[in-house]
A and B are shown apart, each in its own frame.
Chain A
Amino acid sequence: MQEGYALSGISKFVTQDQINRYAEVSGDNNPVHLDSGFAAETTFGRIVAHGMLVLAFVSEMLTRQFGQEWLETGTLKVRLKAPVYPGDSVLTYGVVSRLVSESGVHRVQCDIGCRKADGQEVMTGVASLLLSGLSMG
Chain B
Amino acid sequence: MTFTVGQQMEEVQVTLAASVVNEYISVVDDQSSIYAEAGLVPMAALAAIGLKTLLVGLGLPPGAIHIAQELESHAAARVGQSVLCRARVAQSSRRQQVTFAVLEFTLTNDKGGSILEGRTTLLVPEVPGGKG
Question: Taking beta carbons and an 8 Å cutoff, which residues of A are in contact with B?
Answer: 10, 12, 18, 21-22, 25-28, 30-32, 38-39, 41-43, 50-53, 55-57, 59-60, 63-64, 67-68, 70-80
Contact = CB atoms under 8 A, between A and B. Distances in A.
Interface string B12-33: 0000000010011011111110
Given A52-B44, A60-B30, A74-B73, A31 B23 contact: no
Contacts of A52: 44, 47-48, 51, 66, 69
A27 B130 CA distance: 22
Prevailing SS type, chain B contact patch: mixed
Given A43-B129, A68-B40, A76 B60 contact: no
B71 A76 contact: yes
A18 B47 CA distance: 18
B27 A18 contact: yes
Contact of A43 (B45, B60, B68, B131): B131
Contacts, number: 134
Contacts of A73: 73-74
Interface in B46-84: 47-48, 51-52, 55-56, 60, 62-77
A43 B130 contact: yes
Interface residues of B, number: 45
30 contacts: A21-B26, A25-B24, A26-B48, A28-B52, A28-B55, A38-B63, A41-B129, A52-B47, A53-B28, A56-B30, A59-B43, A59-B44, A60-B30, A60-B44, A63-B32, A67-B34, A68-B76, A71-B34, A71-B40, A71-B43, A71-B76, A74-B43, A75-B73, A76-B43, A76-B69, A76-B71, A77-B68, A77-B71, A78-B68, A78-B70
Contact of A32 (B26, B34, B129): B129
Contact of A22 (B28, B43, B55): B28
Given A26-B51, A42-B131, A64-B32, A56 B44 contact: yes
B130 A57 contact: no
Contact of B27 (A22, A59, A77): A22
A56 B69 contact: no
